[in-house]
Amino acid sequence: MKKVLLHICCGPCGVFPVEQLQGEGLELMGYYANPNIHPYTEYQQRRQSVEMLAGRYGLKMLYEPSYCPEEYFREVSFRESRRCYYCYALRLEAAARYARKGRFDAFTSTLLVSRYQKHEMIWELGESIGERYSVPFLYRDFRPGFDAGRQKAREMGFYMQKYCGCIYSEVERFAPKVKKS
C-alpha cells in the first residue's frame, strides 16, 4: 500500500480527493497548513471543516501547529500579480517537507480539485518541489468531482467558504467593482 500525504485546503475541497484516494487503496494522511487564509476566523472555520472531514472519513491528520500569515505575506508582498504561484509553492513545499520527514511515498493536494485554481501551475510546482525533496508528487485531476464533492460537503454541514482564502481573493470577491471611465 502506498503512503500518501494529502495537503488539504478546506473540508469541501477535501471530500472528492479523499474518497478517490481512499478508493484507490492508498494509505492516506491529511495535512492542514494554510498560512494564506485570512482572517484568522476564516482559518479556524476551514480548519473545523477539515476536522469534520477527517472524522467522517477516518482520516488521520497533521495540523500545522501555528497560524502564521506572516509567511504568506512575506512571499507575496510586492509580487501580488503572481501571488497564487507563491501561495501554492509555500503550501506544497511545507507538505513535501512533512512527506519526506514522515517517509511518505508521495504527496498531493486538494488544490487540484478546484476549477478556480491554476491547475497546471499546481502540477508543475508539485513536480519540481517533489524532485527537490525526493518525494514524488502524486498528480490527479480531481476537477471532475468538484461539484459532487461540494454537494456532499453541504449535506454533511461543512462550512462553505466564498473565496479562495487570501485577503486579495476576499477583496476580489466582496469589494464593490469600480467602473473605469
Q: Per-residue confidence at 49, pLDDT binned at 50, 70, 90?
A: very high
pLDDT tens digits for 56-92?
999 999 999 899 999 999 999 999 899 999 999 999 9
pLDDT above 70 covers a percentage of the chain that reads 99
Are the C-beta atoms of residues 135 and 94 closer than 8 Å to each other?
A: no
Are the C-beta atoms of residues 150 and 12 closer than 8 Å to each other?
A: yes
User: Hey, is 140 helix, strand or coil?
Assistant: coil
Compute the distance between CA of residue 28 and CA of residue 30 in angstroms, rounded to an integer: 7
Provide the H-helix boundaries in the chain: 11-23, 40-57, 69-76, 83-101, 119-133, 146-155, 167-174
pLDDT of 121 > 90? The answer is yes
Compute the distance between CA of residue 97 and CA of residue 86 in angstroms, rounded to an integer: 16
pLDDT of 1 > 70? The answer is no
Compute the distance between CA of residue 61 and CA of residue 101 in angstroms, rounded to an integer: 15
Compute the distance between CA of residue 5 and CA of residue 148 in angstroms, rounded to an integer: 23
pLDDT tens digits for 143-159?
999 999 999 999 999 99
